[in-house]
Amino acid sequence: MSRPLLSLYRLDRNKLHDLSAQLRELLARDDRAALASLLGLGEELARRLAAERWAVGMMLRPDEDAQAAPIFASLRRVAKRAALELVWTSESPALEGRLRAYDVLREEEDVAEAIDRLLDAARLPWFLQRPGGTGGWLGDEQRETLATRLDELGPALPDEVNAFVAAFGGMDGDALVHDCL
Protein backbone atom coordinates (compact mmCIF):
# COMPACT_ATOMS: atom_id res chain seq x y z
CA MET A 1 0.00 0.00 0.00
CA SER A 2 1.52 3.33 -1.03
CA ARG A 3 1.73 6.19 1.42
CA PRO A 4 -0.44 9.16 0.53
CA LEU A 5 1.04 12.39 -0.80
CA LEU A 6 0.30 15.78 0.69
CA SER A 7 -1.33 18.30 -1.61
CA LEU A 8 -1.49 22.04 -1.13
CA TYR A 9 -4.65 23.98 -2.02
CA ARG A 10 -5.62 27.63 -2.09
CA LEU A 11 -8.63 27.86 0.21
CA ASP A 12 -11.54 30.22 -0.31
CA ARG A 13 -12.83 30.36 3.24
CA ASN A 14 -15.95 32.34 2.40
CA LYS A 15 -17.03 29.82 -0.20
CA LEU A 16 -16.34 26.90 2.13
CA HIS A 17 -18.33 28.66 4.82
CA ASP A 18 -21.23 29.22 2.43
CA LEU A 19 -21.27 25.58 1.36
CA SER A 20 -21.13 24.48 4.99
CA ALA A 21 -24.03 26.77 5.90
CA GLN A 22 -26.11 25.53 2.98
CA LEU A 23 -25.42 21.91 3.87
CA ARG A 24 -26.33 22.55 7.49
CA GLU A 25 -29.61 24.17 6.57
CA LEU A 26 -30.64 21.38 4.20
CA LEU A 27 -29.80 18.74 6.77
CA ALA A 28 -31.75 20.58 9.48
CA ARG A 29 -34.75 20.84 7.14
CA ASP A 30 -34.13 17.28 5.99
CA ASP A 31 -34.63 18.45 2.42
CA ARG A 32 -33.20 15.39 0.72
CA ALA A 33 -34.09 16.39 -2.82
CA ALA A 34 -32.24 19.70 -2.47
CA LEU A 35 -29.36 17.93 -0.77
CA ALA A 36 -29.11 15.36 -3.58
CA SER A 37 -29.09 18.25 -6.03
CA LEU A 38 -26.41 20.16 -4.09
CA LEU A 39 -24.20 17.08 -4.00
CA GLY A 40 -24.90 16.21 -7.63
CA LEU A 41 -26.06 12.71 -6.70
CA GLY A 42 -27.26 10.34 -9.38
CA GLU A 43 -30.59 8.55 -9.20
CA GLU A 44 -29.34 5.58 -7.21
CA LEU A 45 -27.54 7.64 -4.58
CA ALA A 46 -30.46 10.06 -4.30
CA ARG A 47 -32.74 7.06 -3.69
CA ARG A 48 -30.35 5.80 -1.05
CA LEU A 49 -30.46 9.17 0.71
CA ALA A 50 -34.25 9.26 0.50
CA ALA A 51 -34.49 5.85 2.16
CA GLU A 52 -32.74 7.08 5.34
CA ARG A 53 -34.69 8.00 8.45
CA TRP A 54 -33.03 11.42 8.21
CA ALA A 55 -30.37 12.66 5.79
CA VAL A 56 -28.16 13.58 8.74
CA GLY A 57 -28.12 9.89 9.68
CA MET A 58 -26.31 9.16 6.40
CA MET A 59 -23.77 11.89 7.13
CA LEU A 60 -22.99 10.38 10.53
CA ARG A 61 -22.13 6.98 9.13
CA PRO A 62 -18.50 5.86 9.06
CA ASP A 63 -16.38 7.06 6.16
CA GLU A 64 -15.95 3.49 4.93
CA ASP A 65 -19.67 2.63 5.10
CA ALA A 66 -20.62 1.18 1.71
CA GLN A 67 -23.91 3.13 1.56
CA ALA A 68 -22.43 6.45 2.59
CA ALA A 69 -18.95 6.38 1.01
CA PRO A 70 -20.03 7.53 -2.48
CA ILE A 71 -22.13 10.31 -0.93
CA PHE A 72 -19.15 11.51 1.14
CA ALA A 73 -17.04 11.41 -2.03
CA SER A 74 -19.61 13.59 -3.79
CA LEU A 75 -19.64 16.01 -0.87
CA ARG A 76 -15.86 16.33 -0.91
CA ARG A 77 -15.91 16.79 -4.67
CA VAL A 78 -18.45 19.61 -4.34
CA ALA A 79 -16.37 21.22 -1.56
CA LYS A 80 -13.21 21.04 -3.66
CA ARG A 81 -14.93 22.50 -6.66
CA ALA A 82 -16.46 25.31 -4.61
CA ALA A 83 -13.62 26.35 -2.35
CA LEU A 84 -10.30 24.71 -3.16
CA GLU A 85 -7.80 25.17 -5.93
CA LEU A 86 -4.96 22.70 -6.22
CA VAL A 87 -1.59 24.48 -6.03
CA TRP A 88 0.91 21.66 -5.70
CA THR A 89 1.29 17.99 -4.79
CA SER A 90 4.39 16.61 -3.16
CA GLU A 91 6.29 13.86 -4.91
CA SER A 92 7.59 12.54 -1.60
CA PRO A 93 5.56 10.37 0.78
CA ALA A 94 8.07 11.41 3.47
CA LEU A 95 6.94 15.05 3.55
CA GLU A 96 4.40 14.70 6.36
CA GLY A 97 6.88 12.85 8.55
CA ARG A 98 9.54 15.48 7.87
CA LEU A 99 7.16 18.32 8.75
CA ARG A 100 5.99 16.64 11.93
CA ALA A 101 9.29 15.32 13.21
CA TYR A 102 12.37 16.81 11.54
CA ASP A 103 14.55 18.06 14.39
CA VAL A 104 15.50 21.38 12.76
CA LEU A 105 11.80 22.24 12.49
CA ARG A 106 10.88 20.93 15.94
CA GLU A 107 13.60 22.96 17.63
CA GLU A 108 12.00 26.21 16.46
CA GLU A 109 8.96 26.55 18.70
CA ASP A 110 7.02 29.00 16.53
CA VAL A 111 7.66 26.94 13.40
CA ALA A 112 6.67 23.66 15.05
CA GLU A 113 3.49 25.23 16.42
CA ALA A 114 2.46 26.64 13.04
CA ILE A 115 3.17 23.34 11.28
CA ASP A 116 1.10 21.45 13.84
CA ARG A 117 -1.70 23.90 13.25
CA LEU A 118 -1.41 23.45 9.50
CA LEU A 119 -1.65 19.67 9.95
CA ASP A 120 -4.45 19.68 12.53
CA ALA A 121 -7.40 17.97 10.85
CA ALA A 122 -9.69 18.86 13.76
CA ARG A 123 -9.75 22.43 12.40
CA LEU A 124 -11.32 21.31 9.14
CA PRO A 125 -15.08 21.02 8.62
CA TRP A 126 -16.28 17.50 9.40
CA PHE A 127 -16.82 16.64 5.74
CA LEU A 128 -13.15 17.28 4.92
CA GLN A 129 -11.86 15.11 7.73
CA ARG A 130 -10.89 11.57 6.77
CA PRO A 131 -10.07 8.77 9.21
CA GLY A 132 -6.31 8.29 9.20
CA GLY A 133 -5.92 11.21 6.81
CA THR A 134 -3.88 14.36 7.26
CA GLY A 135 -5.26 17.80 6.64
CA GLY A 136 -5.49 21.31 8.00
CA TRP A 137 -5.25 24.95 7.02
CA LEU A 138 -3.62 28.27 7.81
CA GLY A 139 -4.85 31.78 7.13
CA ASP A 140 -2.94 33.95 4.67
CA GLU A 141 -0.98 35.89 7.30
CA GLN A 142 0.08 32.79 9.23
CA ARG A 143 0.97 31.07 5.96
CA GLU A 144 3.26 33.93 4.98
CA THR A 145 4.91 34.01 8.39
CA LEU A 146 5.52 30.26 8.37
CA ALA A 147 6.78 30.33 4.78
CA THR A 148 9.29 33.07 5.68
CA ARG A 149 10.52 31.16 8.71
CA LEU A 150 10.84 27.93 6.72
CA ASP A 151 12.69 29.76 4.01
CA GLU A 152 15.22 31.02 6.59
CA LEU A 153 15.83 27.43 7.66
CA GLY A 154 16.06 26.25 4.05
CA PRO A 155 19.75 25.24 3.93
CA ALA A 156 19.22 22.89 6.86
CA LEU A 157 16.05 21.29 5.47
CA PRO A 158 15.70 18.20 3.27
CA ASP A 159 14.72 18.54 -0.38
CA GLU A 160 11.10 17.44 0.05
CA VAL A 161 10.53 20.15 2.67
CA ASN A 162 12.18 22.80 0.53
CA ALA A 163 9.96 21.82 -2.40
CA PHE A 164 6.97 22.33 -0.10
CA VAL A 165 8.35 25.68 1.11
CA ALA A 166 8.68 26.89 -2.47
CA ALA A 167 5.04 26.09 -3.23
CA PHE A 168 3.77 27.24 0.17
CA GLY A 169 5.58 30.57 -0.01
CA GLY A 170 4.86 31.05 -3.68
CA MET A 171 1.09 30.89 -3.40
CA ASP A 172 -1.19 33.63 -2.11
CA GLY A 173 -4.20 33.48 0.20
CA ASP A 174 -5.24 30.89 2.79
CA ALA A 175 -3.62 27.47 2.46
CA LEU A 176 -5.12 24.04 3.02
CA VAL A 177 -3.14 20.82 2.95
CA HIS A 178 -4.63 17.36 2.61
CA ASP A 179 -3.52 13.90 1.64
CA CYS A 180 -6.81 12.31 0.63
CA LEU A 181 -9.31 14.69 -0.91
Partner 1 sequence: MAVGFFDRAKAVFGLQKGARTEGSDTAPRADRQSGRKTKAGRPPLPEVSGAASATIEDVLTARAAGSFDEARAILAAIDKGQGLRTVLRAAAALEAHDEEEVTRLIPLVQKDSPAWQLRLQVAAALDPGPERDDLVSRAVGLGAPAWSVAWLRALSSNDEQKRAGLVDLLFEDAALARTVAARDLGFTDIKPDNDAIRRYTAFAHGRDAIRRFGAAHVVALLGRVDHRSA
With residue 86 as reference, give the H or E element that holds it. Answer: strand 84-89
Cβ(177)–Cβ(8) below 8 Å: yes
* Closest approach of partner 1 to the CB of residue 52, in Å: 9
Residue 27 or 34 having the CB closest to partner 1: 27
175: CB partners within 8 A, 6+ apart: 8, 9, 10, 11, 87, 118, 137, 138, 140, 143, 168
* Closest approach of partner 1 to the CB of residue 66, in Å: 10
Cβ(158)–Cβ(98) below 8 Å: yes
Residue 27 or 82 having the CB closest to partner 1: 27
Residue 8 or 83 having the CB closest to partner 1: 83
Q: Partners of 110 in the beta sheet? A: none
Report the distance separating Cα 104 and Cα 108, nearest Å. 7
The site for partner 1 (CB under 8 A) is made up of 20, 24, 27-28, 30, 53-54, 56-57, 59-62, 65, 67, 125-126, 129
* Closest approach of partner 1 to the CB of residue 114, in Å: 24
* Closest approach of partner 1 to the CB of residue 84, in Å: 19
Residue 3 or 24 having the CB closest to partner 1: 24
